[in-house]
Structure 1
Amino acid sequence: MTAATPSSAAPQNYLGGIALRLLAMLSLSLMFVLVKLIAETGVHVVESLFWRQAVVIPFVFAWAVSHGGVASLKTQRIGAHARRAMMGLAGMCCNFGGMIFLPMAEATTINLSVPIFAVIFAAVLLGERTGVQRWSAVIVGFIGVLVVLDPSTIFAGGFSGDHGIGTLIALSGAIMTALITIAVRDLGRTENSATIVFWFSLLSMVPLGIALPFFITPHDSYEWLLLLGLGVSGAVVQMSLTGALRLAPVAVVIPMDYSALLWSIACGWFFFGTFPAETTWIGAPLIIASGLFIAWREHRLHIERTKDITA
C-alpha cells in the first residue's frame, strides 16, 4: 500500500478519508476473493497479475490527469521506480500466492504484520531511531505472528503441504511489502502518490508482458469476467487508498486497514465456507494491537518533529 502525506492543497475531510480507506479494504478483500476464484479455474498467477495491472493503468492514468495533469507523471527517478516495480511485483505475487494456498483470514492476518517488519527495516536500512516502546510493540507483534504460524505445526514437521507452503509465501509477501514501504518512503521525497502508482503499474507490465505468452490460456466468458473484475477491484483499491490520503492524515486512516480482517473472515465464510484457525483468533489481536501502537507512535513522533522544525 502506498503511503503518503495528504496534499496540502486538498481540503481535509476526515470522515471522507476514513470512508475511502474502508472502501479500499473491502475492495481489497473482494479482489482476493477473485484471486482465489481465478486460481480455481486453472488460470496461472502470472496471467492474473498481468490483467490486474493492465486494467488498472487507464484508471490510474485518468486519476493522475484529473489531479495535476499529465505533467504530474513526469519523473527524474525512473531507476528508483523500476526497482520499486520489481519489488512490488514480487510482493504482489507472494500476496496472491498466500491467498491461493491459505484461508483468506489467515493470509490477511499474516499480511497485517507489515508495520512490524517495516519498523525493523527502517531501523536497519534507514538508521531510524527506534525507542523501547516501538521495539516492545514489535516483540508483541512477532509473538502474534508466531501464534498464527502455529509453532506446534513447525516443530512437528516443519512447513509442508499447501498450508505450510502458503504460510511461507504469505510471510514472504508481508516482508516484501514492508521493504516496499521503505522504497516508497524514499520515492515519496520527490514523487506524489499518483506518480508512484502509475509508474509501478506501467513498469511491471514489461516483465509480465514478456512472461504472458508462456502462461496465457483460452478463457470462457466467466473467466474473462473474473479477470476484468480483478483489474477493476484493483483500480478501486489504488484510487481509494490515494484518495483517502488526500483527505485525511495517515494516522487517521491507517487504523482502518485492520477492517480487512473482518472482511476476509466474512468473505472466506461466504464464498469458500472457511473459518480462521484457532491460532488466528489468538494471534490476530496481538498483531493488530502492535500495528495500532506503531501507527500511533509514528503519529506522535511526526507531531514532535513538526514542532521542532517550526520552533
Structure 2
Amino acid sequence: MSGDRILTGLSLRLLAVMLLTFMAVLIKLAAAHGARLPEITLFRQFFAIPVAMIWVALGPGLATLRTTQISGHITRTALGVFGINFTFGALLLLPLAEATAISFTVPIFATILGALVLKEPTGWHRWAAVVLGFAGVLIVTQPGTGHIPLAGALVGLTSALTVAVIAIQLRQLGRTENAGTTVFWFSALSCVPLGLVYPFFAAAHDATTWALLAGVGIFGCMGQIAFTAALRFAPVSAVMPMDYSGLIWATLFGWLIFGTLPGGWTFVGAPVIIASGLYIVWRERRRGLPASPVVAPTEEADAERERGVEERRPAV
C-alpha cells in the first residue's frame, strides 16, 4: 500500500475524530439549552438518515440498502440504542475530556470479550495490558475522592463495554452487509423505539436548540463516514493511534467552549489507558492476528471490510 494512501487514511481518521468530538460538544450544548437525553438520541439518529442516504446514493447506489439480514440489523439496533444512551449519558454526566478518556477502554473490553466469547487466544501480555488499562481508569476516576461523579464513570464504562459487544455482532453482520447499509438501517430502525419514548420527553425548543440537535445527527453521521473511508486506505493498526487525538480535541473544546480543563489525574491516567490500547493492537499485529474490529471507539467498527471495495464511492 502506497504511502499516499496511508496518509489519506490517517487524515480521514483524524477528521473523523474531530467530527465526533464536535458532535459530543453539540450534545452538551443541546442539553444546556434544555434538550433531554431521549430527545438527543432520537434526533441523532433521525438527522443521520439523509446523510447516510446521500452517501450511499453517491457511492454504490440506493439499491444496496436492500438487505436479507433484517434480523441482524434489529439485533444491532437493540444493542445500539442501549449503547448510544450510555455513550451520550456519559457525555452529559462527565467533563468532555474525562468522558473521552474513559471511552478509550473499548480495546480493553474487546480483549476480554474476545477471550471469553470468541475464544480467541489471549496471552499474559494482553491480560497485563488489560490490567494496566483498568489501572489507568482508576487513576482518571479517583473513586471515593469525588474527583468525578462515580455514576458518570460507571455509565462511561458501560458505554465502552457495549461498544465492544456491538462490534462482535457487527463482525458477523459485516460478512454480508456494507457499512453504508449498516449505518442506514441502524439509524432508521432505532427511530422506532426512540420515537415511542419521545412523546414523554418532547418539549418546545428555540431555533438554536433545534440547530444543535440537527448538528448532532449530521456531524455524528459524517464522523462515521470518515471512520469508514479511512479504512479503505489504511489498515486498522495504522489508523487506530489517530483515535487518541480525541483527547486533544476534547481538552481544547472543553477549554474554549465550556471553560473547563481536565484534572491533573486525567493527564496521568489517560496516557496509561492509551498505552494499554496501543499495546493490545501492537501485540495483535506482531502475532499476525487480524486487528480487532473494536480497537476504536466507533459504531462502525466493521468498516475494515470496506477497504478496496466499492471503488465507485468518491473519497469523503
Which band: TM-score by shorter chain?
0.7 to 0.9
Deviations 1:92-115 (A, max 9, x none): 111111111111110000000110
Deviations 1:231-279 (A, max 9, x none): 2211211111111111211111111100001100111111111111222
Distance 2:185 2:4 in 1: 27
- Gap change, CA 1:304 and 1:182, over 3 Å in 2: closer
Q: Mark the runs of 5 or more structure 2 residues left unpaired by the alignment.
A: 292-316
Counterparts in 2 of 1:171-250, with a 5 A limit? Answer: 171-250=157-236
Say which of 92, 101, 108 aligns to 1:100: 92
The 8 Å contact of residues 92 and 173 in structure 1, kept in 2 or not, is answered as: yes
Say which of 68, 81, 85 aligns to 1:89: 81
Root mean square deviation of aligned Cα: 2.1
State the one-letter code of the partner of 1:110: I
- Gap change, CA 1:69 and 1:12, over 3 Å in 2: farther
Distance 2:9 2:180 in 1: 16
Deviations 1:146-196 (A, max 9, x none): 211213438xxxx9xx82221121111111111112111221222222222
Are 1:290 and 2:282 counterparts? no
Say which of 105, 110, 114 aligns to 1:122: 114
Say which of 240, 244, 254 aligns to 1:268: 254
Give the match's secondary structure for 1:294. Answer: helix
Could you tell me which residue of structure 1 aligns to residue 48 of structure 2?
Answer: 56
Could you tell me which residue of structure 2 aligns to residue 5 of structure 1?
Answer: none
State the one-letter code of the partner of 2:145: T
Distance 2:217 2:199 in 1: 19
**Higher mean displacement: 89-98 or 186-195:** 186-195
Distance 2:287 2:159 in 1: 28
- Gap change, CA 1:179 and 1:12, over 3 Å in 2: farther
Could you tell me which residue of structure 1 aligns to residue 245 of structure 2?
Answer: 259
State the one-letter code of the partner of 1:254: M
Say which of 7, 14, 19 aligns to 2:6: 14
Sequence identity (%): 47
Deviations 1:59-94 (A, max 9, x none): 112212332222322322211211111111111111
**Higher mean displacement: 103-112 or 72-81:** 72-81
Deviations 1:29-83 (A, max 9, x none): 1111111111111211111111111111111122123322223223222112111
Q: 1:212: how far off?
A: 1.5
Comparing both structures, which one devotes a greater share of its residues to helix? 1
Q: Mark the runs of 5 or more structure 1 residues left unpaired by the alignment.
A: 1-7, 306-311
Could you list the runs of 4 or more consecutive aligned residues of structure 1 that deviate by over 3 angstroms after TM superposition?
Answer: 300-305
- Gap change, CA 1:214 and 1:152, over 3 Å in 2: closer
Number of corresponding residues: 290
Q: 1:12: how far off?
A: 7.7
